[in-house]
Amino acid sequence: MKKIISAVIVVCILVSLFVPAFAAEQTDPKISVISDIHYFPKEYIGDLNGFYYRRTVDNDLKLEQYADEIIDEAIDRIIANGSKIVLIPGDNAMGCEYLSHEMLTKKLGRLTENGIAVYAIPGNHDISRPDKISKKFVVDDPSKTVVKAGNTYVDDKIVEVRGTTKSEFAELYSDFGYGDNQNVIARDSGGSLSYIAKIANGYRLIAVDANEYDGELCTGKKSLDGNLLEWVCSQIEECTQAGDIPLLMMHFDLIEKYGMQSLIMGGNFLDDGEKLAEKFADLGVQYIFTGHSHANDIASVTTKSGNTVYEICTGSLAMHGSPIRHLNFSGSDCEIRTEFPDSIKGIDDYQAFCRDYYYNGGVRTIMRNRAIFDVTDAVAGLFEENPKAYNAVYDFFLELMTTVIDTLLATPLDSGVTVEAMLTAMYKYHYAGDEIMTDDMNAATDKLLSGSAFETALDIVFTSLSVVTGLENILKFNPLHNSTIDEALEAVMAFIPAKILGIIFGEFCRGIFIDTYPADNNINIAGGTAYLPDGTPCSDNEPSVLEKIKYYLSVVM
């Protein structure tokens, strides 16, 4: 009897030791990702049609006036999804405002109250810089308006508000990866806000802060090298040696999502981003979660050793349908689904509202802000010490750039598609994900690649410059003006730059439509390979360099 009792005790001890551990190993994380929240307090908006407010949000059409409704709806949907973990890859505030972080973290507290662990890192809009101020917009007289580039705005002003230091960010997010978090098992001692968290049994989050700092403030630069890179790599190695699966989270992009992206939009990428991704892949990383680009995009890179890593970029919650990623892990396999809220408080059909807001004149609005106002400000700024000269230069370039941009956008390409229509389609598909190349857009990008559209564009620029400056009236007295010789000379001068611009921008536009994968929102990754939900393998659509050269020659010649 004693032997039987002893045996039973031994069995019970073994069961108590091993069964819970075995059961825990089978519990895979259910994760949601929201990124680039860009939260902004309503009380900081002086008027929705204020000039400086619109200059700020219309740069990419952020929906700051609905910041509360959007984040509240996202939190509701994450809770309803049954997620146990939420990842936030940075840019939580619009412009480093302390109040933005303070109000957002209170809202995120509802997730922790529902038993959901939240892990955040800072982006480039979260911690103050010496060269930029945190601001609110104030209207002293609602009846006072200004007219800029043909649009009438309320005359508002910018008032500086309290920003956020590095220490304050960590304090505000103490419940979301910082502070006394028992799941955080390591922190970078080199000055960044990077950390390692054991988010589930068998899984570790490698949260990487690639911002560069000077004391408590951001410098505005980003990097992942030196001691920080060594620390990240050592933590990945420690993770895999322990038998855990490493999940990387960082704000900035690493892998190109389409051809020419890192050339045209280099500021979005970490230096040598693709090499970093390959390095992480060979260390055992299969998933990297990013934001920053504001686009729902998935891309991968496979190393010479045959290891594949996927970068899963989540679009901005403040833009383009407000995407929410939901991830179901099973070991190293992952099912990725993207939810676009169909409604928010006050807007029953939110997706229809977004389509109208972004794609009905949205590109024209963005171009006016990025090209007309930015160029005008930059050139006039050279004369800021001389108010009279500043005003004269500002008015001149405002008229010039307005004429150039409005005329360019109306330029026809092919199949009835104008430049504005093509840019609108690019904008729509790139940010929403799941790009589609239609026949009319294919013909339009062919026109760009041939360079003929840029010959027209250069002519528009020269003509606009002549009209605005009055040079056209002087040239009329030139006997060669509008002659066959004059036109031939202009054609020769425009030919080469037009061909170069055509290849660069044509490839950029075509790349957006083609993308790396036929799906960015809903895919399954199993055994290191990506599949569409119906089981179709995702193939790399990027053509080889030789194929591109042949194609360029065919359309240019």
pLDDT digit string, tens, across residues 352-382: 999 999 888 888 888 888 888 888 999 899 9
Among 103-107, 119-123, 424-428, which stretch is predicted with the lowest mean pLDDT? 424-428
Whether 549 has a pLDDT exceeding 70, the answer reads no
Per-residue pLDDT, averaged over 457-486, amounts to 60
- Closest-CA residue to 407 (of 393, 418, 396): 418
Per-residue pLDDT, averaged over 520-527, amounts to 94
pLDDT digit string, tens, across residues 174-223: 999 998 888 999 999 999 999 999 999 999 999 999 999 999 999 999 99
Q: How many CB atoms lie within 10 A of CB 423?
A: 19
**Cα separation values, 117 from 100, 197, 249, 274, 314, Å:** 21, 11, 15, 30, 19
Q: What is the mean pLDDT of the chain?
A: 86
Is the Cβ–Cβ distance between 447 and 413 less than 8 Å? yes
Which residue bears the tokens 């230069």? 393
169: which strand partners? none
Per-residue pLDDT, averaged over 130-141, amounts to 96
Residue 326: pLDDT band (50, 70, 90) is very high
Whether 127 has a pLDDT exceeding 80, the answer reads yes
Look at residue 491 in the predicted model and tell me its pLDDT. 55
Whether 113 has a pLDDT exceeding 80, the answer reads yes
Q: How far apart are CA 430 and CA 423, in angstroms?
A: 10
Alpha-carbon dihedral of residues 496, 500, 502, 507, nearest 10 degrees?
A: 160
The β-bridge relationship of strands 211-214 and 217-222 is: antiparallel
Per-residue pLDDT, averaged over 117-135, amounts to 97
Look at residue 430 in the predicted model and tell me its pLDDT. 83
Output phi, psi for 262, to 5 deg. Answer: -70, -20
Look at residue 540 in the predicted model and tell me its pLDDT. 62
* pTM, rounded to two decimals: 0.86
Whether 552 has a pLDDT exceeding 60, the answer reads no
Q: How far apart are CA 428 and CA 295, in angstroms?
A: 10
Residue 489: pLDDT band (50, 70, 90) is low
Look at residue 14 in the predicted model and tell me its pLDDT. 39
Whether 501 has a pLDDT exceeding 90, the answer reads no
- Closest-CA residue to 452 (of 502, 492, 488, 417): 502
Q: How far apart are CA 548 and CA 553, in angstroms?
A: 9
Among 217-221, 288-292, 386-390, which stretch is predicted with the lowest mean pLDDT? 386-390
Highest average pLDDT, of 12-21, 79-88, 140-149, 527-536, comes from 79-88
Whether 15 has a pLDDT exceeding 60, the answer reads no
Whether 472 has a pLDDT exceeding 60, the answer reads no
